[in-house]
Structure 1
Amino acid sequence: MQSDLEYGRNYVEQFKADSVSQLVTRGPQSSRLLVSRLRRETGGHGLTAPPPGDAVFSVVLQLREQKQRELYLDGRCVHRGAYAERTTSVVNHLELPRANLISPFDCLIFTVPQSALDELADEARVGRIDHLYCPPCGVLDEKVWHLGNSLLPALERPHEVSSMYAEYVMLAAYSYFAQTFGGQRLDKMSRDTVAPWLKRAMEAMAAQLDTDVSLKMLAEANGVSLRYFVRAFKASTGEAPHRWMLRHRVERAKDLLIGTQATLAEVAISCGFADQSHFTRVFRTFVGVSPAVWRRTVRH
């Protein structure tokens, strides 16, 4: 089996980008969920080689305008012109897409294998879909733009990315692609009281604040699907699992800041943050000030 690094490289090497950053997580079963950021500051790249001819779709989000680009499917030009910033487009690898990248580019490419779409459908107990489609010229989709931008910090600082956050955002993105570009429909989940299994999951999360907890492992431990776990958690608590975890880490950090002489770096590691700078950024987001300022204020 290919390593994650080999798997990721397999889908981007034809672009000859100046800069490549990638994030790979696991799908509900054995599939892999991959997003890549590709950047090239000079024009004149030329015609790309076709990607592997597998049952895979690429969902491409433009982070900057491509002023000149051509898209070929099965050897036929289907689009010639610009791709505006925020544009989302979809290509099917079985149509042997090739792009003539005339201008500089900066984009996110979500690699969506058919196996991942099948796993998502089976978990949700809905019919499978066998296509993702949008017009060759692309569409402006604010949801994809926000999902893509929420992944940029993870691609820039991968050491700070928790498994829970990566799994959550990637699952949300792939689920949205299945619904928006594939026509898949899911029943709405009503907000209800917290089920006993969900209480157990939250207790397990609270007991592992210093650990990189996996959503997939939590779901499996409680006998539910990954997507159902995420939807039920948010419907019951009003928060995404990773957000809930961060908030509890911050509350635990407050206790340590008040009740111990631990340094900020020690508090950061004790509460599951990657390092002191990561801790400071998250703490400021929730509390409004840095942990050092908060500690001084509370103690005086």
Structure 2
Amino acid sequence: MTSSLLSYPEPGADIAPQRIASSIDAEHQWRSPRAHQAQPHRQRGDVQVSRWTRNITTPLEVVSHGNGSDHCIGLALKCVSLTFNHAGRRLMQGRVTAGVVQVTAPAVSVSAVFESSVDVLHLFASQQVLAECYEDLFQQPHAGDIVLGDPKLVRDAALDRLGQALVVSQTSDAALGKVFTESVSLAIVSRIVARQFTASNAQNREAAALPQWRMNRVIEYIDAHLAESIGLADIAASAGLTRMHFAAQFRRATGLRPHEYLLRRRIEHAQQLLLSSKHNVFDVALSCGFRSQAHFTTVFKRFVGETPCCWRTKANGAR
């Protein structure tokens, strides 16, 4: 049902358990990392990190009944088309951009129907971790358990950067990898806690963000014209705004400049073509709006970490 193009090293057997695992588990079941499957009721003072990837584009319905003690933080590493239900209520139906975050409280059931390939990071944070983050942020303990109660999907550029850093970092030093993973994971949880308890500031920042209905128009326009030369004026016009108003509102809504978002979508489309067609790299580049194979290769390597040829070979081998 799931597959991963990356391999994840197991934690060293000689390293004692500490605050966080030294690797990212590959989930074989959505929102259910191996540690939770083995000991679903254990109390942990750590952040369990796992990654769920799926390269198949046929629709897939998944369900999670929630962990009894941990909050689950889901962070999209790439754009994905889905329907997402939280506690029986539909929260989202459509395309979600990379960097979108959703937090589910303990013991809350969620379900989703994925209609595209998926790459999502899940962090499971215990009460002990949430309490430590809160006290570190506000210099006083929180009275009672912390419940991150807002389940809506939000886009946070800082969380996007932290998530990307977490999954692309590579090191041969197990101890150093452990420290890095622990630090970045705690930074993600800390920012989630800060958003929860400084909601008024967050709402003020989001007030001038591009509305979702305009964002939907922009996404539809970009997806329909990926092979063409698209300018800022074209994208702004699809949202019914001038270039100046659009650029500022788009960045506040997504954390990305329009050009950066366009490049991401072109690379994601290129990955789909590389997997699903026999076109050569040059033809794929042209189909995704790049005017030369050299430019396409440079941008592809920047986002994916490998050249298109190498990535295609590994992806086909994994499938």
Structure number with larger C-alpha Rg? 1
**TM class by smaller structure:** 0.3 to 0.5
